[in-house]
A and B are shown apart, each in its own frame.
Chain A
Amino acid sequence: MISLAALGVAYADGRRALDGVDLSIAPGERVALIGPSGAGKTTLLRVIGASLRPTAGHVRVDGVDPWALSGRALQSLRARIGKMHQAPPIPPRQRVVTAVLAGRLGQWPLWRAMASLVYPLDIAGARAALEPLGLTERLFDRCDQLSGGQLQRIALARLLYQQPKLVLADEPVSALDPALARSVAVALNDDARRRGVTLIASLHAVDLALSEFARVIGLRDGRVAFDRPAAQVGQAEVDALYAGAPVGDAAEAAEPAPRTRLTRCA
């Protein structure tokens, strides 16, 4: 379903975010991407998500090369891919129900999207997506009344409502406390298993990667360091992956900080 061959992404200044990546991921696989900050995890997810065009090599998603598609076909491919981010991209003044229903914008015709702004057209659907996350009471609350953890679960509910064939999660649990992080990771895996769809998530929590996912790919310096079933990943390999990587603040600085929402002057 997803195949990458000799994939490379170079920035304008010549730095290489990815270099010679060969990967193939079958439908229904649940893959964790681990590696130090700056290893290329986000870039790899953006390439697979048809958001970033690689500068070298080939990419096929859902059996097609996204960059050979027409604009409309590319849009419909993107609508079949669900994405989660470290900072949930949800407007603070939006109501929970609208934020969840936005998951199907790529599938809905325009009239339906616009009508649903006037009166939410699928309240039952939004409710059902919030149900497993324990947030049905917040259906008509505004998102700026929620905590960070709740907001990330709203983003997850949007993803569940979208019902994508491929789920890409970029550090979905990094901003959450350990218990919540595990529950979100479990929910992502459960959904993928139940619907038989592909899940690829980048994680900083190695224990979650090893315990919840079937396959683990270690990335370092834009290359694949190892790629094997989670059960066969040894501690030594993980240590080597992170060895010599900058720790603490320096590691955070290497990756752009998640954008905080701007509060425009009132």
Chain B
Amino acid sequence: MNAVVRDPAARGRATALVLGLCVLWPLLQIAEFNPAVLFAPGNLATLGGFLATFLPPATDADFLGLLAAATLDTLAIATVGIALALLIAVPLALLATRSLSIGRLDGRLRPLSEALRLCARGLTLVLRGVPELVWALVFVRIFGLGPAAGVAALAITYGGMLAKVYAEILESTDLTPARALLAAGSGRLGALGYGLLPVASDELMSYTVYRWECAVRASVVMGFVGAGGLGQLMDQSMKMLNGGEACSILITFLLLVMAADALSAWLRRQVR
């Protein structure tokens, strides 16, 4: 007679797990990923031979000079790209986010504001829907080979990405302070500056620095299609089968990512 007490949520969790596996397994098959291939003896030897050409890293003065210039190019592409992306992202995020909606506060939705919000969301989707590599290929035809194409490609895709994530960060933080200000007659930007940013600033900051790190990586990849910087240098080194140079470039690249990490940590300590 005495009813066994069961967790009423257990069945739902189990179903979700089984469903997840059912979806993942066929995807693994489609992706043709078979870890065993990695460790087949022939493949290991090929891999070892390839990696052996990377040693020792190139350290001659001529190449280091080129490397320094290319690093500066990459940093410039990433930084200017992010700066331009911010110009696109900030207004779009403010238009797209629901957390500064006065209509949502009192249930009197303004159709115009809602339409504008939808348009902004749609625009961010288009901007980030096309990969930056494709944009870079397009812009190389406009600006010619060099960093300008990379900057333009980054500004567009990262503008879309930043806008989307900014809007979501602003929605997922504690909205009570901003709501209280809007309810006291404050404008949207006032509520943003006095109620929302003080709560969300560290998260916005760390995401932006992380995106800058991604932009460094992306600018390397775009270098392969002629958008300048470390990528273009890497492309040339690889084509000349110069593993030592490629190795030096990779080391530089690693140092850049570490620097981005340290910068992010430092900035977050500042705003905390």
List which A73-87 residues lie within 8 A (CB) of chain B: 75-83, 85, 87
Partner of B106, one of A53, A85, A103, A261: A53
A251 at the interface (CB under 8 A from B): no
Q: Which residues of B contact A76 (CB under 8 A)?
A: 185
B173 at the interface (CB under 8 A from A): yes
A154 to B184, CA, bound (A): 16
A71 at the interface (CB under 8 A from B): yes
**Smallest beta-carbon distance A41→chain B, Å:** 17
Contact A110 B268 (CB under 8 A): no
Contact A78 B184 (CB under 8 A): yes
A52 to B200, CA, bound (A): 27
List which B154-191 residues lie within 8 A (CB) of chain A: 173-174, 176-177, 179-181, 183-187, 189-191
Contact A113 B185 (CB under 8 A): no
Q: Which residues of B contact A44 (CB under 8 A)?
A: none
Name the residue on B nearest A94 (C-beta).
B198
A114 to B189, CA, bound (A): 8
Name the residue on B nearest A95 (C-beta).
B198
**Smallest beta-carbon distance A199→chain B, Å:** 16
Contact A93 B107 (CB under 8 A): no
B237 at the interface (CB under 8 A from A): no
Contact B183 A105 (CB under 8 A): no
Contact B176 A259 (CB under 8 A): yes
A246 at the interface (CB under 8 A from B): no
**Smallest beta-carbon distance B151→chain A, Å:** 29
A124 at the interface (CB under 8 A from B): no
Contact B173 A106 (CB under 8 A): no
Q: Which residues of A contact B79 (CB under 8 A)?
A: none
Contact A79 B189 (CB under 8 A): no
A42 at the interface (CB under 8 A from B): no
Contact A91 B195 (CB under 8 A): yes
The count of residues in chain A whose C-beta lies closer than 8 Å to any C-beta of chain B is 41
Contact A113 B177 (CB under 8 A): no
Known contacts A93-B198, A117-B193, A264-B173; decide if A75 and B187 are in contact (CB<8 Å). yes
**Smallest beta-carbon distance B168→chain A, Å:** 13
B194 at the interface (CB under 8 A from A): yes
Which residue, of B106, B203, B272, has the highest number of chain A Cβ atoms within 10 A? Answer: B106
**Smallest beta-carbon distance B175→chain A, Å:** 9
Encoded as 1 (CB less than 8 Å from any A CB) or 0, chain B from 82 to 126 comes to: 000000000000000000001001111010000000000000000
List which A235-251 residues lie within 8 A (CB) of chain B: none
Name the residue on A nearest B200 (C-beta).
A264
**Smallest beta-carbon distance A119→chain B, Å:** 13
Contact A91 B106 (CB under 8 A): no
**Smallest beta-carbon distance B23→chain A, Å:** 28
Name the residue on A nearest B199 (C-beta).
A91
Encoded as 1 (CB less than 8 Å from any B CB) or 0, chain A from 54 to 95 comes to: 000000000000010001000111111111010101111110
A89 to B272, CA, bound (A): 19
B261 at the interface (CB under 8 A from A): no
**Smallest beta-carbon distance B116→chain A, Å:** 14
Contact A262 B187 (CB under 8 A): no
**Smallest beta-carbon distance A159→chain B, Å:** 9
A113 to B83, CA, bound (A): 25
A83 to B183, CA, bound (A): 9
A20 to B199, CA, bound (A): 40
B53 at the interface (CB under 8 A from A): no
B208 at the interface (CB under 8 A from A): no
A162 at the interface (CB under 8 A from B): yes
Known contacts A71-B102, A91-B199; decide if A261 and B174 are in contact (CB<8 Å). yes
A82 to B191, CA, bound (A): 15
Known contacts A75-B102, A266-B202; decide if A80 and B185 are in contact (CB<8 Å). yes
Partner of B183, one of A51, A103, A108: A51
Which residue, of A82, A89, A162, A264, has the highest number of chain B Cβ atoms within 10 A? Answer: A89
A156 at the interface (CB under 8 A from B): no
The 5 A-B pairs with the shortest beta carbon distances in the complex, nearest first, are A79-B185, A106-B185, A91-B198, A78-B185, A105-B186
State the B residues within 8 Å of A (CB): 102, 105-108, 110, 173-174, 176-177, 179-181, 183-187, 189-191, 193-195, 198-203, 268, 271-272
- Excluding A76-B185, A93-B198, A266-B202, 10 further A-B contacts by CB distance (< 8 Å) are A50-B106, A51-B105, A89-B177, A91-B195, A92-B199, A98-B194, A105-B184, A110-B187, A110-B189, A113-B187
Contacts A/B (CB < 8 Å), 20 sampled: A50-B106, A52-B107, A53-B107, A53-B108, A71-B102, A75-B187, A83-B180, A89-B177, A89-B180, A89-B195, A91-B198, A93-B198, A98-B194, A102-B181, A102-B190, A103-B184, A105-B190, A113-B190, A114-B193, A261-B176
